[in-house]
Amino acid sequence: MGKPLEGIKVIEVAMWAFVPVAGGMLSDMGATVIKVEPPTGDPIRGLRTGLTENEPALDYSWESYNRGKRSITLDLKQEEGREVLYRLLEDADVLLTNLLPPARKAMKIDAETLQARFPNLIYATGSALGQNGPDSDKGGYDAITFWARSGISSSLTDEDADLPVGPPGPAFGDSLSGSMLAGGIAAAIAKRAMTGEVSSVDVSLLGAALWSQQRSISQAVDEGIRKFRRPEKDKPNNVLVNNYKTKDGRFLALCMLQADKYWARLCRIAGRPDLADDARFVDAAARRENLGACLAELKALFASKTLAEWRAILSQQDGQWDVVQHVGELAEDGQVQANRYIQPVETTSGRTIQVVSVPMQFDGAPLPIGTSPDLGADSDSILADLGYDEDAIINLKIAGVVF
């Protein structure tokens, strides 16, 4: 079976994570993605994240977000570099970029200029704060724009905290926003195919963050709330929507929203039928009224057995639960393995690493993941495909247009 976007050509003039994530997804779905890098390369190559004491030699960020692309280095500040880009765009379907508006205009690669010259071109941008408003020309990163400005961080932070809660890892908001941008581009491709109309597409970090917490924002705006009150520790509204620590120091996450439906069965298979029959805990209202006593019983109960024991017990009832896993355990998760949500990929260095698959699957199968290119690895072949002969390519290199 062919990939859904085979035959689509995307030119990516972007760096860091947000927009390259979108390009990587389009590549996995079959599009030919040519990444245009400055002679110094995308600065995410070799980015230090501080996740471990010894920074790895391998660029995990680069490998994750630039899979399956071809790389050409071009100095777009030079007219000769822009001419190469224009030739690349002659048969392209999408121009994908996150350069700031002033830079795009100075380089003559803004939407107005390119769509006038290439009327079939879909112009897609990933911005920090959207196309309109006083901050539309401002840049941003997911840690400050997606995470901080959007209210996500403050929603997770306790009132008495010394510092706001930070993102769970590198490019968390970039990955979500880039996925939305890839979806917008796919929609624009479909629209052009069905109607002949060409679109400009933009997704911003701020807009994607608002979308991800839309339920809370709607209520906050409607009720005039500045910040939602964080639930008090050890005072859940529903004792079966809570986390509990096991005997071996792991955590179980329960999310049994219909608590009365599951309470009695859970208590009995856990070896505590007395809790099901206790008048203080007989229904949701009674459990809330006697929250302290009920919570103490459940904490002691879950602390009496190991995680392995609870896996066996909880699998015998229908209430919803799961294990609070560590990221390093995910490759061993049976569901992750069965659906190939993580795949081995050989890097250009010859080393094989594990890379996360795009979440959408087609015809019951995951999409294979390509290798991320070395800097300028495809410059010569791409230029040759465009009709540049050997002398012309050498001249571009001498002029510093191509690395």
Tens digits of per-residue pLDDT, 343-386? 999 999 899 999 999 999 999 999 999 999 999 999 999 999 99
Question: What is the average pLDDT value for the chain, to the nearest integer?
Answer: 94
* Residues 256, 320 contacting (CB under 8 angstroms): yes
**Whole-number pLDDT of residue 178:** 97
- pLDDT tens for 152-207 read 999 999 888 899 999 998 999 999 999 999 999 999 999 999 999 999 999 999 99
Percent of the chain exceeding pLDDT 90 equals 89
Position 60 scores a pLDDT of 87
Residues in contact with 219: Cβ distance below 8 Å, sequence separation at least 6, in sequence order: 225
Rounded to whole angstroms, the Cα distance separating 398 from 403 reads: 9
Whether the Cβ atoms of residue 89 and residue 121 lie closer than 8 Å to each other: yes
DSSP 255: E
Buried b (16+ CB within 10 A) or exposed e, 307-332: beebeeebeebebebebeeeeeeeee
- The encoded tokens of residue 96 equal 């994908």
* Residue 1 pLDDT greater than 70, yes or no: no
Measured distance CA(249)–CA(37) in Å, rounded: 47
Q: Is 220 or 403 the better-scoring residue by pLDDT?
A: 220
CA angle 49, 38, 15 (to 5 degrees): 40
Would you call 252 helix, strand, or coil by DSSP? strand
Give me the helices (H) in 118-171, please. 152-156
What is d(CA 272, CA 301) in angstroms, rounded to the nearest whole number?
8
Q: pLDDT-based confidence at 2, cuts 50/70/90?
A: confident
Q: Distances from the Cα of 329 to the Cαs of 65, 68, 325, 337, 368, in angstroms? A: 22, 26, 7, 11, 22
Tens-digit pLDDT profile for residues 115-139 = 999 999 999 999 999 999 999 999 9
CA angle (28 as vertex; 56, 83 as ends), nearest 5: 90
- Name which of 65, 208, 57, 13 is nearest 128 in CA terms: 208
Work out the average pLDDT over 290-299.
97
Confidence of residue 77 (pLDDT cuts 50, 70, 90): very high
In angstroms, rounded to a whole number, what is the distance separating the alpha carbons of residues 242 and 236?
7
Kind and range of the H or E run holding 394: helix 390-398
Output DSSP code: residue 257: S
Instruction: Locate 224 and state its tokens.
Output: 């005039």
- Report how far residue 85's alpha carbon sits from residue 353's, in angstroms, rounded to the nearest whole number: 32
Q: Are 115 and 200 in contact (CB under 8 A)?
A: yes
Q: What percent of the chain has pLDDT over 70?
A: 97
For residue 104, give the amino acid letter: R
CB atoms under 10 Å from CB of 105, counted, come to 15
Instruction: Residue count of the chain, please give it.
Output: 403
Confidence of residue 388 (pLDDT cuts 50, 70, 90): very high
262, 263, 240: which is closest to 252 by C-alpha?
Answer: 240
In the sheet where 200-204 sits, what is the strand order?
A: 70-73, 32-37, 9-13, 94-97, 122-127, 200-204
pLDDT at 309: 98
Residue 28 — very low, low, confident or very high, per pLDDT cuts 50/70/90? very high
Contacts of 334 (CB under 8 A, 6+ apart): none
For residue 200, what pLDDT is reported? 97
Of the candidates 364, 316, 322, the one whose C-alpha atom is nearest the C-alpha of residue 339 is: 364
Tens-digit pLDDT profile for residues 29-72 = 999 999 999 999 999 987 766 566 665 567 889 999 999 999 99
Q: What is the mean pLDDT of residues 327-353?
A: 94
